[in-house]
């Protein structure tokens, strides 16, 4: 089945989090992504070491020393033959080449690195590719996590005058201030998430908790929120997560369990939707989103590539002769690695 980015060639300069994730998104939707990795003596190995990088699904790897003039020459030749160059450096670098024991909270780098960074960058690339079909010209996409995250928080900025953020931090409607928009510990040490803002959903929440609305303060009585949070917490602590799931399952009370990674893969909804996929190394990861009806993403289920595994193959595709490749290898401008066989 044809994918929407089929035929698009992407050169991704290895980096952390946002860059690799953006490249993986493009690869998932059909782009041919080549990752340019640093030599073994020039890369930071603080995370995902051992020669295999995370977020490398569907990519190939070339090791190239961009601190050497010969490496820059190779890089420029590659750039002239691709549609997208994805680089994670600070502005101007490329031009020189040419809470513990508390209730759960969202991992913050999902917002900056992946939401404001890689997803915004991927959107910019797709927009530029589409515009190119009209103008025939390329352009630079300047995507950074600060501005991307600011854009994602447009609702916060636009709603400042609505009174949603008039209380101190942690005391507002959507930042855990409201008793009906919070997480609660269950009797077995697990957690339930509550997001029952609308009155009809709130009524179902109160009913499921076995409480009586007539005996409680009004939902929007902010001065009573702390007292209500304690009452809700005491109530949730009386049953296990499974028991609460049985009570609220199939209702519109906006009460859901907070699951571990393993539990999420076994969740009934996720199983039915096929939300997670497994590669040949038996590693589980989320399926690409969104789903396209005619040209859906078909993510690779092969193992993630070893750094430098495709160095020779890629350079040959871009017109380098075997003699040139041998010279670059002898000069240690490139590195060639092959996966060890499992006997």
pLDDT score, position 321? 97
- CATH code of 41's domain: 3.40.50.10540
Tell me if residue 279 is catalytic: no
pLDDT of the residue at 154: 79
Say if residue 183 is in the same domain as residue 56. Answer: no
Rounded to 5°, angle at Cα 284 from 99 and 105: 15
In a domain, 266, yes or no: no
CB atoms within 10 A of CB 268: 8
Single out the catalytic residue among 65, 83, 113, 304: 113
Reference 225, options 188, 287, 270, 170; nearest CA is 170
Query: 300 and 280 in contact (C-beta within 8 Å)?
Result: no
Asked, for residue 35, whether it belongs to a domain, the answer is yes
- Of 240, 258, 276, which closes a domain? 258
Q: Are residues 18 and 140 in the same domain?
A: yes
Q: How do the residues of the chain divide into helix, strand and coil, expressed in percent and rounded to 5?
A: 40, 15, 45
Largest CA distance in the chain: 84
Is the domain of 29 the same as that of 146?
yes
Rounded CA gap, 292 and 219, in Å?
Answer: 40
- Tell whether 205 and 122 lie within a shared domain: no
**Domain shared by 53 and 131, yes or no:** yes
Picking from 258, 276, 295, the residue at the C-terminal end of a domain is 258
Q: With contact defined as beta carbons under 8 Å apart, do 62 and 36 qualify?
A: yes
* Residue 133 is assigned to a structural domain of this protein: yes
- Does 219 share its domain with 89? no
Phi-psi region of 74 (alpha: psi -120 to 50; beta: other; left: phi over 0): alpha
Final residue of a structural domain among 241, 258, 275? 258
Model confidence over 240-257: pLDDT tens digits?
A: 999 999 999 999 999 999
Assess whether 179 and 107 both reside in one domain.
Answer: no
Instruction: Locate 251 and state its tokens.
Output: 């209702």
- Within a domain: 219: yes
240 and 326 together in one domain: no
Q: How do strand 59-64 and strand 334-335 relate by DSSP bridges?
A: antiparallel
Residues 6+ apart with CB under 8 A from 262: none
Query: What is the domain count for the chain?
Result: 2
> How far apart (Å, rounded) are the C-alpha atoms in residues 308 and 223?
61
**Based on the domain organization, do 249 and 117 belong to the same domain?**
no
Residue pair 164/172 in contact by the 8 Å Cβ criterion: yes
pLDDT at 107: 56
Provide the pLDDT for residue 331: 95
Shared domain for 143 and 43, answered yes or no, is yes
Q: Which of 74, 53, 70 is nearest to 11 (CA)?
A: 74
Segment holding 71, helix H or strand E:
helix 69-79
Whether residue 340 is contained in a domain is answered as no
CATH number of the domain within which 244 lies? 3.30.1540.10
Give the model's pLDDT for residue 343.
Answer: 54
In a domain, 220, yes or no: yes
Question: Residue 337 and residue 93: Cα distance in Å, rounded?
Answer: 27
Q: What does the alpha-carbon distance between residue 5 and residue 288 come to, in Å, rounded to a whole number? A: 14
Q: Are residues 177 and 217 in the same domain?
A: yes
The verdict on 181 and 62 lying in the same domain is no
Q: Print the domain residue range for 178.
A: 165-258
- In a domain? residue 279: no
In a domain, 31, yes or no: yes
Which residue ranges in the chain fall short of pLDDT 50? 42-50, 99-100
Phi, psi of 150 (to 5 degrees): -60, -40
- What six digits make up the tokens of 107? 């991992």
> Which residue, 55, 145, 57, 142, is CA-closest to 108?
145
């Amino acid at each position: 089945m044809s994918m929407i980015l089929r035929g698009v060639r992407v050169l991704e300069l290895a980096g952390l989090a946002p860059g690799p994730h953006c490249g993986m998104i493009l690869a998932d939707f059909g782009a041919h992504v080549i990752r340019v990795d640093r030599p073994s003596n020039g890369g930071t190995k603080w995370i995902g070491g051992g020669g295999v990088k995370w977020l490398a699904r569907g990519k190939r790897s070339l090791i190239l020393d961009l601190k050497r003039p010969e490496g820059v020459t190779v890089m420029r030749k590659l750039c002239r033959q691709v549609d997208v160059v994805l680089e994670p450096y600070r502005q101007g670098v490329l031009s020189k080449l040419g809470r513990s024991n508390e209730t759960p909270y969202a991992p913050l780098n999902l917002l900056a690195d992946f939401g404001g960074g890689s997803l915004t960058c991927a959107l910019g690339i797709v927009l530029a590719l589409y515009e190119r079909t009209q103008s025939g010209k390329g352009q630079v996409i300047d995507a950074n996590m600060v501005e991307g995250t600011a854009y994602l928080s447009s609702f916060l900025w636009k709603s400042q005058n609505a009174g949603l953020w008039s209380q101190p931090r942690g005391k507002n409607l959507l930042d855990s201030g409201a008793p009906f928009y919070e997480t609660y510990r269950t009797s077995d040490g697990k957690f339930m998430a509550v997001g029952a803002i609308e009155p009809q959903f709130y009524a179902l929440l109160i009913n499921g908790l076995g409480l009586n609305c007539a005996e409680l303060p009004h939902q929007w009585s902010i001065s009573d929120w702390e007292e209500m949070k304690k009452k809700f917490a005491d109530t949730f602590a009386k049953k296990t997560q499974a028991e609460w799931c049985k009570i609220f399952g199939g209702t519109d009370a906006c009460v859901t369990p907070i699951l571990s990674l393993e539990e999420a893969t076994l969740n009934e909804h996720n199983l039915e939707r096929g939300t997670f996929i497994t590669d040949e190394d038996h590693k589980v990861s989320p399926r690409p989103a969104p789903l396209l009806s005619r040209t859906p993403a078909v993510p690779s289920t092969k193992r993630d590539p070893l750094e430098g595994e495709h160095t020779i193959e890629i350079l040959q595709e871009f017109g380098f002769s075997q003699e040139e490749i041998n010279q670059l290898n002898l000069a240690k401008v490139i590195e060639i690695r092959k996966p060890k066989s499992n006997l």
